Structure 1
Amino acid sequence: MPGGRLTLQERECIAAGLADGLGYTQIARQLERPASTISREVTRNGGPGRYRADRAHRATAARARRSSAAAVQPSASAEFMVDNDAVREFAAHFTELFVFDGMPRMQARVMTCLHLANSGSLTAAELVRQLDVSPASISTAVGALEQRDLIRRERDSRRRDLYCIDDDTWYRTTLNLARAAGVRVEAARRGAELLGVTTPAGARLDEISRYLDYLGTQMVQVVERWHRS
């Protein structure tokens, strides 16, 4: 099985596979590489829709140069996240879990970075360095995450914006999901009333409203018990 860094030819095969709609496992089988290697490669270089072989090859070379420089003088990124193959593989997997749940990839990558930072907080500049993306990409992602109450913004001692998660992040997120379920409950009830609960469609909507109402109530009760424990 091949080892070491991906070659430009392998990256071109990855790009061709993505264009053909192949999954990471299928591409990995063609290259006789672990699927995690392909997943990490694509995730670090723009995702399936933006992956370009030549650009990824240049970016990897640039990261290698920065890593060599870091051996002489530690970089800022080394201060906020462990950087080794095992952690990078875990980070790629953790990101995919967020994406699977419907989160845009850049937001998912930011969430992963914050979860893996010991402090649970990073500046925009640190996120730019860690993810090797533009400041505009980070600005868009953190703005969306703030709106969803998944992260909060603070100012550090140097008056820089600091993006943070904390122990209550998932508590607030679950409560937000419960509130969203409440909106759907009202919509389903309204539909049942309009169609009539004696009609098949009305009965279906009535059952949906009762299920979502029960689910939202249970979610709130569970997180409240957890928060008090």
Structure 2
Amino acid sequence: MTQQDRERIASGLADKLSYGEIARRLDRPTSTITREIARNGGPTGYRPQHAHQATLQRARRSAPAPPRADTPPDGLMEEELLERAVRAGMPRITARVHHDLMLSEDGRRTAAELAHRLKVSPASISVAVNFLLQQGFIRRERDPRRRRDIYVIDDDAWYHAIMISERQTLESARATMAAAERYGLDSPVGRRLAKAATYLERVSLDIMDSAGRWRTLLR
């Protein structure tokens, strides 16, 4: 949980919001918010800065000694990876699902396993895996014996994600060029749109070419 999250918890408490409403606004399980407040002074004594520092100190005490002085504890490192994914635009629960699959031994989990491990509802897992499937970060396999889906993150996941993203950018570039032609390529708007479309197309094609060229690094 970030310092900003804790500031929002304090603001929610000041506004007399329920724990469930605070959790909904932060896209976190209610149990996480309840535990966070209870271990850091309760609803009347919660102080976000103090809570953040206390959490960092607990993580340092519980983590094994790092091999180098500049290596953060695993818990903090994993939290930082999650926060970076969220800042890049991935929904928090989706980022947690992706992170859990990335760190699993064989890169495979069922929806039930994900829900149990992350302490979230099956509906939340369904939304998260659908997003990851659409973006190419994971793939779905069917277990015929137990009639259930298994979600898999494999070595080619990043390649597929990049290719899907750049194909979408190419579609946007072509739609932009079509709009430029409607306005007229000699008009100020048409020229502006055409430049943007050409730039997006060239960059996307370069990225796709590079992704294919370096794909062997994933194997």
- Shorter-normalised TM-score: what interval? 0.5 to 0.7
Q: What displacement does 1:168 show?
A: 0.4
| CA distance 1:87–1:131, change in 2 (3 Å) | farther
The within-5 A match list for 1:150-161 is 150-156=137-143, 158-161=146-149
Q: What displacement does 1:190 show?
A: 1.1
Give the corresponding residue for 1:69. none
Instruction: Count the aligned residue pairs.
Output: 173
Runs of 4+ in 1 over 6 A off after TM superposition: 58-61
Give the corresponding residue for 2:9. 15
Which residue among 21, 31, 35 is the counterpart of 1:57?
Answer: 35
Give the corresponding residue for 1:221. 209
Contact 1:155 1:162 in 2 (8 A): yes
Q: Deviations over 1:143-180 (max 9, x none)?
A: 22222222112245655422110110010111111211
User: TM-score normalized by structure 1?
Assistant: 0.64
Contact 1:149 1:172 in 2 (8 A): yes
Cα distance in 2 for partners of 1:54, 1:172 equals 33
Q: What displacement does 1:189 show?
A: 0.6
Identity, in percent, stands at 35
SS in 1 for 2:26: coil
Give the corresponding residue for 1:106. 93
Which residue among 166, 188, 191 is the counterpart of 2:176?
Answer: 188
Give the corresponding residue for 1:209. 197
Cα distance in 2 for partners of 1:112, 1:180 equals 24
SS in 2 for 1:119: coil
Deviates more, 1:151-160 or 1:162-171: 151-160
User: TM-score normalized by structure 2?
Assistant: 0.67
Q: What displacement does 1:89 show?
A: 2.2
Q: Which runs of 5+ in 2 are unaligned?
A: 15-22, 40-61, 64-72
| CA distance 1:49–1:220, change in 2 (3 Å) | closer
Give the corresponding residue for 1:169. 157
Cα distance in 1 for partners of 2:92, 2:12 equals 16
| CA distance 1:19–1:146, change in 2 (3 Å) | farther
